[in-house]
Amino acid sequence: MKVLYFAWFRDRIGMAEEEIELNGTDTLTVRDFIGDLAGRGEGYATAFEDMNVVHVALDMQEVDHDTLIGGASEIAFYPPFTGG
């Protein structure tokens, strides 16, 4: 699965995107996946320390943390939007 990081997620994790092999996505929630990511190192742990500001999109559609990843091919992590 293609994993994208925007704004300070990219700064803290140190990359804009990566490919992660995921199995059992039919029963894996976004929250479960964040838990796995947070265990990958200090940058990840810092990025995901405050779950209130972790926003997620599956295939460019914003979802909540309880959503199952299912057949999505792209997941993106980003802070609240500040455009306009």
Q: Are 22 and 2 in contact (CB under 8 A)?
A: no
Residue position matching structure tokens 């999505």: 72
Does 64 bind other proteins (CB under 8 A)? Our answer is no
Nearer to other proteins, 44 or 78 (CB): 78
Q: Which stretch binds other proteins (CB under 8 A): 6-14, 21-29, 31-39, 63-71?
A: 6-14
Pairing of strands 74-78, 2-5: parallel
DSSP 3-state assignment of 84?
Answer: coil
CB of 27 to other proteins, least distance (A): 26
Count of residues touching other proteins (by CB under 8 A):
15
Binding characters for other proteins, 11-30, by CB under 8 A (x = yes):
x-------------------
Distance CA 42, CA 31 (A): 18
